[in-house]
Copies of this chain bind each other. A is one copy, B any other.
Amino acid sequence: MRGGGDMQGLYKIVFATCNKKKFEEVKEILQEYNIELERRDVKGLEIQSDELAPIALFSAIQAYNQVKREVIVEDSGLFIKSLKGFPGTYSSFVYRTLGLKGILKLMEGLEERSAYFLSSLGFCDGKEVKLFLGKVEGWVSYSERGDRGFGFDPIFIPEKLDKTFGELSLEEKNKISHRSRSVRQLAEWLKKYRQLTK
């Protein structure tokens, strides 16, 4: 079954992710567009690259081959300028090993704390593969603040705010986050090229 509008005007796609908090974030945004999201764990290979784009495209194709329905995958990374882009595309491994404390230790004594979060969203329906990128600039905080969100959220302060992502509600984060930007691009694209009611 491919995605598409049903009797109730809902458009359904699959999000291949095992991260439930990430799923909730994306689901929340897509509801605004009448798009219903279904979570699926998809096992497969992940390729290594210093760039997020090829990883998301490869994963989207691989996920489609397993679920055989319109599917999205999403990969994010925190790129810290003074650490030459570390942890970047390896953010999830670095989070599991060094954690927030490791990043703060690496940044000790550094005044240049600018960083950005990049979200790379891959879409595949078996015919088309699309990539949507979302970015938010900001800084690495001097300490952990807040316990919302996930991953490096408690040490990232987006520009024009004095709170970390970890201190924002889901609604606030979804207004400005890198992920919300890539997801909204996807939604706009679906609206334009598919039969969305909104």
Query: A residues within 8 Å of B by Cβ?
Result: 45-50, 55, 58, 83-86, 88, 90, 93-94, 96-98, 102, 105-106, 108
CB neighbours of A50 from chain B (8 A): 93
Rounded to whole Å, the gap between the CB of A167 and the closest CB of chain B is 26
Query: A83 vs B101: C-alpha distance in the bound complex, in angstroms?
Result: 11
- Given the interface contacts A46-B47, A90-B90, does A96 sit within 8 Å of B84 by beta carbon? yes
CB neighbours of A96 from chain B (8 A): 84
Q: Which residue of B lies closest to A93 (CB)?
A: B90
This protein's copies in its complex: 2
CB neighbours of A108 from chain B (8 A): 105
Query: A47 vs B47: C-alpha distance in the bound complex, in angstroms?
Result: 4
Query: A93 vs B50: C-alpha distance in the bound complex, in angstroms?
Result: 8
Of A48, A85, A102, A106, the most chain B CB neighbours within 10 A belong to: A48
Are B105 and A84 in touch, CB under 8 angstroms? no
Are B106 and A83 in touch, CB under 8 angstroms? no
Q: Taking A47-B47, A90-B94 as given, write out 18 further A-B residue pairs in contact, using a Cβ cutoff of 8 Å, ordered by the A residue number.
A: A45-B48, A45-B58, A46-B47, A48-B48, A50-B93, A83-B97, A83-B102, A84-B96, A84-B97, A84-B98, A86-B93, A86-B98, A90-B90, A90-B93, A98-B106, A102-B106, A105-B106, A106-B106
Q: Which residue of B lies closest to A94 (CB)?
A: B86
Query: A55 vs B85: C-alpha distance in the bound complex, in angstroms?
Result: 23
CB neighbours of A46 from chain B (8 A): 47-49
CB neighbours of A45 from chain B (8 A): 47-48, 58
CB neighbours of A106 from chain B (8 A): 98, 102, 105-106
Query: A48 vs B50: C-alpha distance in the bound complex, in angstroms?
Result: 11
Query: A86 vs B6: C-alpha distance in the bound complex, in angstroms?
Result: 48
15 cross-chain CB contacts under 8 A: A45-B47, A45-B58, A46-B47, A46-B48, A47-B48, A48-B48, A83-B102, A84-B96, A86-B97, A86-B102, A88-B93, A88-B97, A98-B106, A105-B105, A105-B108
